[in-house]
A and B are shown apart, each in its own frame.
Chain A
Amino acid sequence: MSTNSGSTFPIPGAVFDLPPVGPAPKELANLGRKLATGTASAPVVLPTAGGPETPADAVRFLNQATFGASPETIDELLSLGSYSAWIDRQLTLTPSATRPFVAAAGNSSNSNPRHHIWWQNLMEQPDQLRQRMAFAWSQIFVVSDRDYILSNSQYGMCNYYDMLAAGAFGNFRTLLEQVTLHPVMGVYLSMLRNEKADRSRNIRPDENFAREVLQLFTIGLWELAPDGQPRTDSAGQPIPTFDQVLVEEFAKVFTGWNFDNVRSWTDNNIPQLSRETPMVADEAFHDTTAKTLLGGETIPSGGTAQQDLTAALDNIFNHQNVGPFVAHLLIQRLVTSNPTPEYVGRVAAAFANNGQGVRGDLEAVTRAILLDPEARDGHTTQPDTFGKVKEPIMRLSQVWRAFDAQPGPEADGVYRPYATSIETIETVTGQGVMRSPSVFNFFLPDNPIPGSAPGSTVVAPEMQILTEINIASTNNMLLQQIYSDNHTRDAGMRAPIAQIQLQPEVAMAGDIDVLLDHLDTLLMAGQLPPGLRAAIRTQIATHPTDAEGLLARVTDAIYGMVGSPFHLVQK
């Protein structure tokens, strides 16, 4: 285990520095390079999409890459004039963290602070791309504190999330090993204290992590072509990537790992810090027999827990599926639910080779996703299928960021909608960070559109949690935010509710078309359809131009857009 410190996770002001996890980045960067050797060496050209031509272009991009376009970030992107330059700048920003805030709150069983700081960061911190990627990764490398043990490990949960943020632009291989050895994952998928077979006790290794690391984190169930389309056998049938026997082989690999700083394999006196430092090997419980991995590769007998783990993660990392599998999931989180095979293929190619012969470079993958022609122009080139249903909590974050929401006057600086507890956002919307019901995330990547015809392949993952109840309660939360919890709210009445600031909009509301153009750009990325625009225009023209009337124009126009079906979809 590497013992380097300091530069791995530069989180300023951290109460506790994040401990290093897994091999040092440098070693793994080299590993990535080494592994790339011998792969197809066609020249790799990463996309370098230009820049936004209009503010609406900027909003489209920012809604994919951040938690919502704000006037400030729109201006920044327009003045940079280049998407690529904006990404460059994002990469230089200090990662914001959740762990220090939660540790300061001083109760590892209280999950409220974890949600508070997550919202506060996405509202106030500039490292938006990193945070958006961390949130996306938290839905791939899933852990959830619905698990009752993790509900009491809030420092560990935060440490895990901050790890995803810190690694968002590093190498996939590094992140995969950090995730594998994180005790929060160890608890969640029971690799922690997974022990070798013992015939005398009639026990055998736990298959949980072995199965899910393959199925959900890296390669999926079916052999994929480089463009993410399933490969088929001579009978035209898809080809499974692994079978039960292989799961059992990997289960043997992932044996022998325990909390750091415990006195024995079963010691239940677990220091708090051991819930956030990488698991350590206890060789007595590691299965040292030979193992057969993907593609028939074998690990000889006699390896240590770390040696076997390294070999197995290398084996997985080099499987041809990882690039297209991960590309597809990330594209769905950021850009579109139904990417073309060509788009997946281009992002997968960036995964395979970042242009410098390195496999698994997540910075290159992120760039490839956001700068791809399909991401930038899909709304015009494939208008019938392009886009995604927004994750429910992002409808709120987009409205808050568009209108510079300010937290309630309470000292904690927390952003809350009308409901008094921020955790209620989960009740209202059906989604909360690291709160999915299982390792299968909030929704499945192949969730069909409800009522779609049998055989339809068009999917809408997020619709899985858009229940009739949540649609209504989310709508009502946004409606309340727009009409009541804005800057005009009496200070005495507003605690502890966040307020959106609508003064700029009120100031332009004297000219209805100026107002509508502005809101169309800010909220709808210039895609407000003509019928809805006309209906809103007719409605708000009935309001006079006194102060009350101007505010009514603004709130009606905003709700008309935000409450409409078009705001559920990001195109």
Chain B
Amino acid sequence: MTNPPLTLPRSTTTRRRFLAMAGTAAAGVTLSTMPFGGPARAAQTTGPRTLVCIFLSGGADSFNMYMPLDHDVAGQDYDTYRTTRGGFAVPATDILPVGNGDFGVHPLLPSVAALAESNRLATVVNVGPLARPTTKADYLAQKALPQNLFTHDAQRKLWQTGQSTLTSGQGWGGAVANSIGTPTGQVSPSFSIGGSNVWQSNTDTTYSRLSPTVRIQRLAGYDGSLWNWIPSLSEMEGVMASALEEAAGSTNILDQAASTTIGQSILATEALQEATADTEANEVGMEDLGRNRLALQLQQVARLIKNRSSLGMDRQVFFVRIGGWDTHGQQAERLPVLLSGLNQAIGSFQGALDGLGVADSVTTFTASDFGRTLTINGDGTDHGWGGHAFVMGGAVNPGAYGTFPSYSLENNPDDVGENSRDFAGRLIPSTAVCQHSATLARWMGMTEAEIDQTFPELGNFPTRDLGFMR
């Protein structure tokens, strides 16, 4: 398969670097195999950096978020997209072009188009969990495939561990937080406003799970200074402390876990109450959020970024999540609502980052369970594998990265279907989640040794760094 490189990076220096490399590359080598960055580059350790994962839970139909427009390659062009997507195809005239116009984003994502316009958008195309470069022949022979393909929980986990097997429950975001480190007695710089997740799970570094809307209450009863209108509580503090200690020493593993969890709650609620409160000091300039749950989560992120120096955090890792993307049915009604919400959240968050003057040190990326089928099941789409993902912020090298797949329903080498009858547009990824993730982890300052430990399958791929981060 010979796919020409995608949109060129726009910034002059990056463009020059890219062109220099392209000149030395063998014909037919795609952008994803270019040795951008790579192992030789030393870990960046200066200046504050923040990584934000926006997880689109349920499997976002990213094939309708980022689409070919003027991209004139057989099987990858707009006409093939339109034919394969049938009634779900977005009219070409509605698509918002990005970069040189070869590709564009959904008309309901003008915030993303605006990021592209200001050279702050990278798109990684057809990315998904892989153990090693995988062809259709490999798929049909069931050779080294990721476990439990096409299932929500498994594929979500693989996206969050950066691996292809389910055995590890350690997320790569947690590994990043662990490499940042947490001073004794402080809360870790890893926060989820989107609930428990695998991405931040790490044996050695915990993360705090906050709410987008609920004001943090400190844990009364364990601190005698709180709720002192109840006379006994000043005396109960000692009782509760002894209970915490006794449970920590229990032989029962659940008692121990309960003790740890309460202890973590005491620490986190005390440390973070002020930094997350809806106060003037925490104003970040995100307005009219209404009931946009993603925007409300990102508002908490922005508050914690604003307070990062007072929290003593040079680096921070955030996870937010918005559900509803499993659009098997009524996609025509549901997807626009989801995209509008995403657009408003991204736009509003970017405005806050600009206002805070931190846009160059915050990188936000989208991830999801999987890409969906290109074909329609009547009124929706089903579970796929590879999909497109956005990376946003002032530190990205703008452009598209990876090998764009064929959308064809005839003899499609990227489709898992065996014959034309089976072609549903479930695409074999051409770029691995571990490559994508390692690129972000490296930007966050992880060393190559830590990266190898976190992504044990990275060595199976020719490119260790996709090059979309400066």
Contacts and interface: CB of A to CB of B under 8 A. Distances in A.
B355 interface: no
A450 B380 contact: no
B253 A458 contact: yes
Interface stretch (A41-49, A467-475, A496-504): A467-475
A469 B209 contact: yes
Nearest to A389: B254
A467 B151 contact: no
Nearest to B226: A476
Contact of B148 (A192, A240, A464, A483): A240
B219 A565 contact: no
Nearest to B83: A202
Interface in A158-211: 187, 189-190, 192-195, 201-208, 211
A566 interface: yes
Interface stretch (B2-10, B27-35, B242-250): B242-250
Nearest to A530: B246
B25 to A, nearest CB: 35
Interface residues of A, number: 84
Contacts of B154: 221
A555 interface: yes
A564 B257 contact: no
Nearest to A444: B153
Nearest to B276: A469
Given A385-B252, A438-B57, A449 B257 contact: yes
A532 B254 contact: no
B329 A440 contact: no
B278 to A, nearest CB: 14
Interface string B41-68: 0000000000000000110000000000
Nearest to B156: A440
Contacts of A221: 148, 151, 154
Contacts, number: 254
Most buried by A among B254, B268, B376: B254
A146 B217 CA distance: 25
A453 B170 CA distance: 9
Contacts of B221: 475-476, 479, 559, 563
A505 to B, nearest CB: 15
A484 B262 CA distance: 23
Contact of A194 (B87, B255, B378): B378
Contacts of A264: none
Interface in B245-280: 245-247, 250-255, 257-262, 264-266, 268-269
B328 interface: yes
A563 B151 CA distance: 39
Interface in B202-249: 202-204, 206, 208-211, 213-214, 216-222, 227, 230-233, 235-236, 238-240, 242-247
Contacts of A555: 232
A207 B383 contact: yes
Given A386-B252, A568-B261, A438 B196 contact: no
Contact of B268 (A440, A449, A468, A543): A468
Contacts of B416: 244
A447 interface: yes
A532 B238 CA distance: 10
A465 B192 CA distance: 12
Nearest to B329: A190
A475 B219 contact: yes
A447 B257 CA distance: 13
B375 interface: yes
A468 B268 CA distance: 7
B214 A471 contact: no
B377 A194 contact: yes
Given A244-B150, A450-B260, A465 B195 contact: yes
A437 B258 CA distance: 24
B169 A569 contact: no
Interface string A437-449: 1101001100111
B272 to A, nearest CB: 8
A460 B254 contact: yes
B77 interface: no
A431 B84 CA distance: 41
Interface in B402-446: 409, 416, 424, 426
B264 A440 contact: no
10 contacts: A193-B378, A201-B86, A438-B326, A450-B260, A463-B196, A531-B246, A543-B232, A560-B236, A560-B239, A563-B222
Interface of B: 57-58, 83-84, 86-87, 148-154, 167-170, 195-196, 201-204, 206, 208-211, 213-214, 216-222, 227, 230-233, 235-236, 238-240, 242-247, 250-255, 257-262, 264-266, 268-269, 323, 326, 328-330, 375-380, 382-383, 409, 416, 424, 426
Given A206-B377, A437-B323, 14 more contacts: A190-B330, A202-B376, A203-B86, A206-B379, A208-B328, A221-B154, A450-B196, A452-B169, A472-B269, A484-B230, A529-B247, A531-B243, A535-B242, A566-B247
